[in-house]
Structure 1
Amino acid sequence: MTVTETPTFAEEWADWHTRHEAARADGHGFLAITGLTWLTAEPQRIAGVPGEWWTGPGGPVVRLADGEELVVGGTTVHGEHAFGEVPERGGVDAVAGDVVIEVARRGGADVVRPRDPANPVLTAYTGTPAYEADPRWRVTGTYVPFDQPRPTTVGSVVEGLEHVYDAPGRIEFTLEGRELTLTAFDGATPGSFMVLFTDETSGVTTYAANRSLKVGAPDADGTVVLDFNRATNLPCAYTVFATCPLPPAENRLPIAVEAGEKKPAA
């Protein structure tokens, strides 16, 4: 009979971090972004991208010259192509050879961000350092829903840009002997949450502007698990072409969370 050993806490974390790093280094991930163009009503050319681009009440539009083409939704397009209205924090991809062109909407404005697997930021990437996994940074908390989601305006790493998220509730927990609270936003999967925060390590050993933590859906009694060992950097820690949100003021923790990802390697 073969006995299968249960992975240790550190082994589980190492496996998670390896997978997270692999996703971050994807050939068309945010490390591949080569530029950020804010579209206006005036048609403009974008370096490394076919066509002239502009936006209006109906959303982004591209006009391709003779001999230029893009692939959108699996269909090759020529001439003038309208992408339609793009929802906030949404996006559509257009493909030109090896380059994927992200057509998105951020802070009420339409943007274009090419993603090229040959981008030096991606090809030179060697990984992100992190604190050693430690179970003391994995704590349980209680999710307390608001009577109704609260529209919460937060700043951005882009000066003058604001993001608005609906906050469904807050998470209360105790860490390092302190009773703390974090405002939670909706996560990528139904019932889950995303928390943006800073702490006393921010700007010292960790990225100054923000870190992000995914939190699974609460149990029936509201119990959730916050594993700060899995706190990660947002794209703005790696590229100037990101539009990342800043944490709400109440999510600035008055302790040093010596867990999770540190500043990216220089």
Structure 2
Amino acid sequence: MSTLQSESDVTVDDTAFAAEWQAWHDSHEKNRADPHGFLAVTSLNWLDETPTRYPDAPGEWSTSAAGPVVTLADGEQIVIDGQTISGSTEPVTYAFGIIAERGGVTASAGAAEFEVARRGGVDILRPRHPSHPTLVDYAGTPVYPPNPRWNVDGVFAPFDEPRPVTVGSVSEGLEHVYDSPGVIEFELGGESLSLTAFNGPTPGSLFVLFTDATSGVTTYAANRSLQIAAPYAEGRVTLDFNRATNLPCAYTEFATCPLPPAENRLPVGIEAGEKIPGKAAL
């Protein structure tokens, strides 16, 4: 495995940098362990036109061109946007309507929540129970010590027009399509590298999916993600690989996470950010 720096070679003496990273990491871990986060997911159900019951959700679920529906029998109920829908002596059907790709609606019943969403052109039901062992037993994610050497400068090179990029998924047979606004060019250890970027959660921000020479060794094999603030003067950006994070698929089989595009498989080892869950000794 080719690596550029080893954590043993560096002493982090920037107290402010380490403290800022620690605050970010603590917040990220808190969000990950949310009672209804992805660690609480108990199943991944691909809906079709056949009404089907699942052991971890009330009602019978199906979908069609008009979107997913649930039919509730007597004694069953769900809450959506503060409205309680209850079955009675006659079954009651609730229609969610057409859900946009990567969109979703959340229903609840008791302590559980139910994600009704669309992934890869298919409607899904994903129950989330706070009592699920994956969440209850979660003890945190091992990480490389924060190291300023992995906080690197780059330049965002926009395309003339956003380009649709099709990537695979950890869920077999599923594909995701993202619009890429451009690439990020940077250097590590004197080596010129680039990453295809996608639009981030806030206006102008970006994110990248990548693997590197540590993937499958000390870091999760399929992917890691890095959020990047909006470019500033002359397209400059900062890539802080200390904040490279695992996607849900590193923790649960009930995920549909995208895989990095082929060009984002870096030939170097990024010894920074989150490691494989449960392998703190690596």
Same fold (TM over 0.5): yes
Task: Confirm or deny that 1:21 pairs with 2:29.
Answer: yes
Task: Confirm or deny that 1:66 pairs with 2:90.
Answer: no
Task: Confirm or deny that 1:53 pairs with 2:61.
Answer: yes
SS of structure 2 residue aligned to 1:246: coil
Q: 2:271 aligns with which of 236, 258, 263?
A: 258
Q: Which residue of 2 aligns with 1:162?
A: 175
- In the TM superposition, what is the alpha-carbon distance from 1:14 to its structure 2 partner? 1.0
Q: Which residue of 2 aligns with 1:11?
A: 19
- In the TM superposition, what is the alpha-carbon distance from 1:186 to its structure 2 partner? 0.6
For residue 236 of structure 2, what is the amino acid of its counterpart? Answer: T
Q: Which residue of 1 aligns with 2:109?
A: 96
Write the distance in 1 (CA, Å) between the matches of 2:134 and 2:238.
34
Write the distance in 2 (CA, Å) between the matches of 1:59 and 1:100.
19
Write the distance in 2 (CA, Å) between the matches of 1:194 and 1:61.
33
Deviations 1:87-116 (A, max 9, x none): 111110000110000000000000000000
Q: 1:112 aligns with which of 125, 143, 162?
A: 125
Q: Which residue of 2 aligns with 1:32?
A: 40
Q: Which residue of 2 aligns with 1:199?
A: 212
Write the distance in 1 (CA, Å) between the matches of 2:198 and 2:81.
30
Write the distance in 1 (CA, Å) between the matches of 2:226 and 2:60.
38
SS of structure 1 residue aligned to 2:178: strand
- In the TM superposition, what is the alpha-carbon distance from 1:10 to its structure 2 partner? 1.0
Write the distance in 1 (CA, Å) between the matches of 2:48 and 2:172.
18
Write the distance in 2 (CA, Å) between the matches of 1:48 and 1:159.
23
Q: Which residue of 2 aligns with 1:216?
A: 229
For residue 144 of structure 1, what is the amino acid of its counterpart? Answer: A
Deviations 1:189-214 (A, max 9, x none): 11101100000000000000000000
Q: Which of structure 1's runs of 4+ aligned residues deviate more than 3 A?
A: none
Deviations 1:65-89 (A, max 9, x none): 0111110111111310000011111
Any unmatched runs of 5+ in structure 2?
1-13, 87-91
RMSD: 1.0
TM-score normalized with structure 2 length: 0.91
Write the distance in 2 (CA, Å) between the matches of 1:52 and 1:159.
25
For residue 24 of structure 2, what is the amino acid of its counterpart? Answer: W
SS of structure 1 residue aligned to 2:68: strand
Write the distance in 2 (CA, Å) between the matches of 1:191 and 1:77.
40
Q: 1:131 aligns with which of 137, 141, 144?
A: 144
Any unmatched runs of 5+ in structure 1?
1-5
Task: Confirm or deny that 1:230 pairs with 2:230.
Answer: no
Deviations 1:160-183 (A, max 9, x none): 110000001110011121100000
Q: Which residue of 2 aligns with 1:182?
A: 195
- In the TM superposition, what is the alpha-carbon distance from 1:220 to its structure 2 partner? 3.3
Write the distance in 2 (CA, Å) between the matches of 1:241 and 1:177.
40
- In the TM superposition, what is the alpha-carbon distance from 1:239 to its structure 2 partner? 0.1
Write the distance in 1 (CA, Å) between the matches of 2:130 and 2:57.
14
Q: Greater relative contact order: 1 or 2 (C-alpha under 8 angstroms, separation 6 or more)?
A: 2
TM-score normalized with structure 1 length: 0.97
Q: Which residue of 2 aligns with 1:3?
A: none
Q: Which residue of 2 aligns with 1:144?
A: 157
Write the distance in 1 (CA, Å) between the matches of 2:254 and 2:99.
19
- In the TM superposition, what is the alpha-carbon distance from 1:7 to its structure 2 partner? 5.5
For residue 189 of structure 2, what is the amino acid of its counterpart? Answer: E
For residue 120 of structure 2, what is the amino acid of its counterpart? Answer: G
SS of structure 2 residue aligned to 1:12: helix
Q: Which residue of 1 aligns with 2:6?
A: none
